[in-house]
C-alpha cells in the first residue's frame, strides 16, 4: 500500500490537496490533506467517489469507431494508430476542401489543468487555422464585469473570511459548490460575524443567515443598485475613496438613483425593508466581504448585476483591511503564468464561435459549415443550452465528430470516433483553483487505465502526424511546466517541495494594500464606457423578465453536491425530480411524486415533482449536469435553456428558462 500526494484540478474554486491510497497499482481511496491549508484535511463526497469514475463500466478504455447509425452507440474497438490515421485523414480532407474554419474544437471544464487545456490543444488548433471557440458557458459575464471594473484584481482570500464582521454570499452556494468555505463561515459566525445570503432558494447557508433576500432570478441588479443608492443618499458612500481611487462613480450614482428600495423590492420580489436592512448592515460593518458567485450571472442581466455587486465595496469604502472587499474568481491572481509559451503558436484571427450557440452553428448558422467537431473537456449534450438543437447537430450525417473523454457520456454516443482520456489520477498536470490561491502539482498516482492517453500527449501526437510540429514546442510535462512557470522563479522548486506554491501577490492579499486594480491608471472603473457600449440596455440597464402568461415559471439549474457540472453523472442512475414550491404545485393540482411535463417553446422534460418549501414561489429547480438517465424522457434542464446571451461577455442564460408544468395523466 502506498500513499501518494496529488492535487484536484476539477472545475471548483477549492483546488484541494489530495492523499491517494494506492494498493497494487489500484487507487482505493482519496483523502484531503493539510498541504494546502484551505483543504483542511477533507475532500468533498464527489471526489472521494472518484475511483468509481476511474474504474466504472462507463470508463472508456480504448479508441473506438462508430459502426451503427449516429447516436445508436454501436462502436468497434480500434488501435491508437488506426484512430490517428482516421483522424488525420479527416482533418486533412476537411481542411483541404473547406478550410481550417470548418473544424471546431469544443472544450470547457474538463480537468481544468494547465496542461490539459490551452496548451498542446490550442497549439494544434491554431496551426490548423480552426474556428476559435468563445468559452462562454460559464464565467463570461462575471469575467467581463470584474475585468471591466477592476482589471482582474485578485480577490479577498477565502481563508480571511474568518476575520470578517459581515459576509454577503451573493448568488453562491458553497454548501454544494465549494464546501471548504463552509467551516470558515462557521468559524466567522462563531466569532460574531453576520451572514447575508442573496439567493432565490433557501440554501443551507441562507437558512442560517441573519438576512436572506430571496430575489427573483435575474433581479439582482435592482437590489444592488438600490443598496448603492441608499449608501449615496444616506451619507454612507466613501466619497474620499471614490474621488481618489475610482472613476465613473457619478455615472453609477445616476444609474442607481432610479432604484428606490421600494421599486427594487417590487421588481425583485422581496421586502423593501430587507433591501434597506442589507444596505444599513453593509454600511455599518467592517471588515465586510462579498462572496460573489455565478448564480447571478446566468441571465440577461448577469453582467450588469455582477458589476453592480462588485461596485458596492468601492462605494461603501470597504477595501484596505483584511477580509474587506470581495471575492469572485481568483484566477486573476495568476497573471505570471505563461500559457502563451506553452502554446507556442500565434492564433490566426479565424472566426469566433460562441459555444452557447453551438446548437445553431451545427444547424446551418455558420458559413462555412462545421464539418469536423472535436469535443474534449466538455459534454455538450449535457451542458450547453438548446439541447435538442445540439442533438440535431450531432445527428448530421455530414459532420465528423470526435469525442475525447474519460467516460461514455451521452455526447459520446453521437461520435464517429471515440478517444479514451486519462483522468487526473493518471497524468501530470498543474492545477490552480479560482478560490484557493494555490498552484497544485497533479501527479499520476496510477498507470493509465486501458489505453487512455492524456490530452497533452494526444494533441502533441496529432501535431506531429500532421507535420505541424515546430522547434521549441513544449511536449513533455517537464517542458510544459518550464514554459508555464518561466515568469515565476522559484515556483518549480516550491512545487517539488510541498506540491503547491503561491502567486506573487501572496496567498492572502489585502485589496488596496497588497493588490490594486489591473487597470491602466490602477483606479476602479465604475462606469467603463466599453461595457456600456456593448450592453443592450447599457451598463447597469435592467432588462425585464422573459416570463410570459404561457411560461410563467423560472427554471433555474444550480450546481449539486453529486456532480461537477455533468462530470460523474454516470454514477447516479436515479430519477431526479423537479423541485417546486407548494403554492405552484397546488395551483396545478400537483402532488409530490406526480409525473409532469415541463416545457417551453424549446423543448420538454418529463420527470417527477418534489414539493420544496425552500424555493420562492414562481421558481422551479432541475439541477445542472443531469444525464439522460436522470429523467423520464432523457431531456434535462438544458433542453429548456435559451441560447440568448448575457448583457456582457456573451455568456449563457441558463436561468432565463421560463416554463410551464403540467401533470401527465395516465
Closest CB to ligand MGD among residues 455, 630: 455
328 binds Mo ion (CB under 5 A): no
Q: Which of 151, 324, 528, 625 contacts ligand MGD by CB under 6 A?
A: 625
The CA distance from 331 to 298, in Å, is 19
The CA distance from 247 to 252, in Å, is 10
Closest CB to ligand MGD among residues 44, 246: 44
The CA distance from 221 to 415, in Å, is 41
Per-position x/- string for 279-318, each x denoting binding to ligand MGD as judged by CB under 6 A, each - no binding: --------------xxxx-xx-------------------
405 binds ligand MGD (CB under 6 A): yes
Q: Which of 291, 300, 624, 658 contacts ligand MGD by CB under 6 A?
A: 624
Q: Which of 8, 102, 103, 138 contacts Mo ion by CB under 5 A?
A: 138
| Residues 434/119, Cβ–Cβ less than 8 Å | no
| Residues 118/135, Cβ–Cβ less than 8 Å | no
Closest CB to ligand MGD among residues 238, 274: 274
Per-position x/- string for 209-228, each x denoting binding to ligand MGD as judged by CB under 6 A, each - no binding: ------x-xx-x--------
Q: How many helices (H) and strands (E) does the chain have?
A: 23, 27
| CB burial string 461-496: b at 16+ within 10 A, e below | bbbeebeebeeebbbebeebbebbbeebeebbebbe
The site for Mo ion, by CB under 5 A, has a size of: 1
Nearest distance from C-beta of residue 484 to Mo ion, angstroms: 22
Nearest distance from C-beta of residue 138 to Mo ion, angstroms: 3
Nearest distance from C-beta of residue 109 to Mo ion, angstroms: 6
Instruction: Please identify the residue of the shown chain whose CB is closest to the bound ligand MGD.
Output: 295
DSSP code, position 216: P
Distance of CA 49 to the CA centre of its chain: 21
Site for ligand MGD in 467-506 (CB under 6 A): none
Please state the three-class secondary structure of 293-318 as a single string.
Answer: CCCCCCCCCHHHHHHHHHHHHHHHCC
511 binds ligand MGD (CB under 6 A): no
Bridge partners, residue 606, by sequence: 597
108 binds ligand MGD (CB under 6 A): yes
| Residues 138/294, Cβ–Cβ less than 8 Å | yes
Q: Which helix (H) or strand (E) holds 292?
A: strand 288-292
11 binds ligand MGD (CB under 6 A): yes
The CA distance from 474 to 59, in Å, is 29
Q: Which of 125, 527, 540, 654 contacts ligand MGD by CB under 6 A?
A: 654
The site for ligand MGD, by CB under 6 A, has a size of: 63
| Residues 379/566, Cβ–Cβ less than 8 Å | yes
Nearest distance from C-beta of residue 200 to ligand MGD, angstroms: 5
Closest CB to ligand MGD among residues 141, 149: 141
384 to 23, 107, 599, 642: CA distances (angstroms): 38, 11, 17, 10
Give the SS3 label for residue 417. strand
Question: Considering just the CA atoms, what is the radius of gyration of the chain in Å?
Answer: 24
556 binds ligand MGD (CB under 6 A): yes
Neighbours of 250 (CB within 10 A): 12
Nearest distance from C-beta of residue 126 to ligand MGD, angstroms: 18
The CA distance from 557 to 637, in Å, is 7
436 binds ligand MGD (CB under 6 A): no
Nearest distance from C-beta of residue 589 to ligand MGD, angstroms: 26
Which residue stretch of 26-34, 130-138, 196-204, 440-448 sits at the interface with Mo ion (rule: CB under 5 A)? Answer: 130-138
Q: What stretches of 357-465 show up as alpha helix (H) in DSSP?
A: 358-362, 380-383, 387-394, 455-465
Per-position x/- string for 358-397, each x denoting binding to ligand MGD as judged by CB under 6 A, each - no binding: ------------------xxxx--xx--------------
What angle do the packed helices 302-316 and 140-150 form, to 10 degrees?
30
Closest CB to ligand MGD among residues 218, 603: 218
656 binds ligand MGD (CB under 6 A): no
Dihedral angle, C-alpha 495, 14, 196, 649, nearest 10 °: 100
Bridge partners, residue 542, by sequence: none
Closest CB to ligand MGD among residues 197, 337: 197
110 binds ligand MGD (CB under 6 A): yes
Q: Which residues are near Mo ion by CB under 5 A? A: 138
Q: Which residues are near ligand MGD by CB under 6 A? A: 11-12, 46, 108-111, 116, 137-138, 170-173, 176-178, 198-201, 203, 215, 217-218, 220, 293-296, 298-299, 376-379, 382-383, 404-407, 409, 421, 455, 556-561, 563-567, 624-625, 637-638, 641, 654-655
Amino acid at each position: 500500500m502506498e500513499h501518494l500526494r496529488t492535487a484536484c484540478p476539477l472545475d471548483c474554486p477549492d483546488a484541494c490537496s489530495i492523499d491517494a491510497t494506492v494498493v497494487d497499482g489500484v487507487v482505493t481511496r482519496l483523502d484531503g490533506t493539510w498541504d494546502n491549508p484551505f483543504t483542511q484535511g477533507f475532500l468533498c463526497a464527489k471526489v472521494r467517489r472518484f475511483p468509481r469514475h476511474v474504474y466504472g463500466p462507463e470508463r472508456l478504455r480504448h479508441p473506438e469507431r462508430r459502426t451503427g447509425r449516429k447516436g445508436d452507440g454501436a462502436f468497434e474497438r480500434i488501435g491508437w494508430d488506426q484512430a490517428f490515421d482516421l483522424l488525420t485523414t479527416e482533418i486533412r480532407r476537411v481542411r483541404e476542401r473547406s478550410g481550417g474554419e470548418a473544424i471546431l474544437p469544443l472544450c470547457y471544464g474538463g480537468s481544468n489543468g494547465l496542461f490539459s487545456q490551452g496548451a498542446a490543444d490550442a497549439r494544434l488548433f491554431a496551426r490548423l487555422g480552426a474556428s476559435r471557440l468563445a468559452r462562454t458557458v460559464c464565467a463570461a459575464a462575471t469575467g467581463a464585469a470584474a475585468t471591466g471594473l477592476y482589471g482582474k484584481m485578485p480577490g479577498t482570500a477565502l481563508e480571511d473570511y474568518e476575520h470578517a464582521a459581515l459576509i454577503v454570499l451573493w448568488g453562491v452556494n458553497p454548501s454544494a459548490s465549494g464546501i471548504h468555505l463552509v467551516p470558515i463561515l462557521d468559524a466567522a459566525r462563531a466569532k460574531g460575524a453576520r451572514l447575508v445570503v442573496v439567493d432565490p432558494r433557501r440554501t443551507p447557508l441562507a437558512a442560517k443567515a441573519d438576512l436572506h433576500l430571496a430575489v427573483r432570478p435575474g433581479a439582482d441588479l435592482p437590489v444592488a443598485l438600490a443598496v448603492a443608492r441608499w449608501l449615496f443618499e444616506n451619507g454612507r458612500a466613501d466619497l474620499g475613496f471614490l474621488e481618489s481611487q475610482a472613476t465613473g462613480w457619478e455615472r453609477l450614482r445616476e444609474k442607481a438613483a432610479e432604484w428606490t428600495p421600494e421599486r427594487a423590492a417590487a421588481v425583485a420580489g422581496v421586502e423593501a425593508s430587507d433591501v434597506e436592512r442589507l444596505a444599513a448592515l453593509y454600511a455599518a460593518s467592517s471588515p465586510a466581504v462579498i462572496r460573489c458567485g455565478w448564480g447571478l450571472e446566468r441571465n440577461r442581466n448577469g453582467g450588469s448585476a455582477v458589476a453592480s455587486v462588485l461596485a458596492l465595496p468601492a462605494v461603501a469604502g470597504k477595501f484596505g483591511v483584511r477580509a474587506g472587499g470581495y471575492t469572485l474568481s481568483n484566477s486573476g491572481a495568476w497573471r505570471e503564468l505563461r500559457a502563451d509559451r506553452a502554446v507556442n503558436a500565434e492564433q490566426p484571427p479565424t472566426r469566433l464561435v460562441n459555444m452557447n450557440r453551438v446548437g445553431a452553428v451545427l444547424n446551418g448558422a455558420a458559413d462555412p459549415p462545421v464539418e469536423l467537431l472535436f469535443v474534449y473537456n466538455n459534454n455538450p449534450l449535457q451542458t450547453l443550452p438548446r439541447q435538442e438543437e445540439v442533438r440535431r447537430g450531432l445527428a448530421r450525417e455530414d459532420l465528423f465528430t470526435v469525442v475525447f473523454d474519460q467516460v461514455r457520456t451521452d455526447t459520446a454516443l453521437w461520435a464517429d470516433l471515440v478517444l479514451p482520456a486519462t483522468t487526473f489520477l493518471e497524468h501530470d498536470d498543474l492545477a490552480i483553483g479560482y478560490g484557493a490561491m494555490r498552484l497544485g502539482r497533479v501527479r499520476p498516482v496510477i498507470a493509465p487505465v486501458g489505453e487512455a492517453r492524456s490530452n497533452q500527449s494526444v494533441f502533441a501526437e496529432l501535431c506531429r502526424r500532421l507535420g505541424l510540429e515546430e522547434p521549441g514546442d513544449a511536449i513533455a510535462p517537464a517542458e510544459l511546466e518550464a514554459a508555464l512557470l518561466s515568469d515565476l522563479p522559484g515556483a518549480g522548486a516550491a512545487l517539488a517541495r510541498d506540491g503547491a506554491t503561491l502567486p506573487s501577490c501572496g496567498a492572502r492579499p489585502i485589496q488596496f494594500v497588497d493588490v490594486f486594480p489591473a487597470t491602466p491608471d490602477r483606479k476602479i472603473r465604475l462606469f467603463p464606457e466599453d461595457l456600456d457600449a456593448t450592453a443592450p440596455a447599457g451598463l447597469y440597464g435592467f432588462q425585464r423578465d422573459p416570463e410570459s402568461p404561457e411560461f410563467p415559471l423560472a427554471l433555474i439549474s444550480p450546481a449539486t453536491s453529486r456532480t461537477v457540472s455533468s462530470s460523474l453523472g454516470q454514477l447516479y442512475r436515479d430519477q431526479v425530480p423537479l423541485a417546486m414550491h407548494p403554492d405552484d404545485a397546488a395551483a396545478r393540482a400537483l402532488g409530490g411524486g406526480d409525473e409532469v411535463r415541463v416545457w417551453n417553446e424549446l423543448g420538454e422534460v418529463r420527470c417527477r415533482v418534489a414539493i420544496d418549501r425552500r424555493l420562492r414561489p414562481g421558481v422551479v429547480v432541475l439541477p445542472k449536469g443531469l444525464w439522460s438517465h436522470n429523467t423520464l424522457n432523457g431531456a434535462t434542464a438544458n433542453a429548456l435553456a435559451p441560447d440568448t446571451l448575457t448583457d456582457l461577455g456573451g455568456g449563457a442564460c441558463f436561468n432565463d428558462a421560463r416554463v410551464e408544468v403540467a401533470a401527465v395523466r395516465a
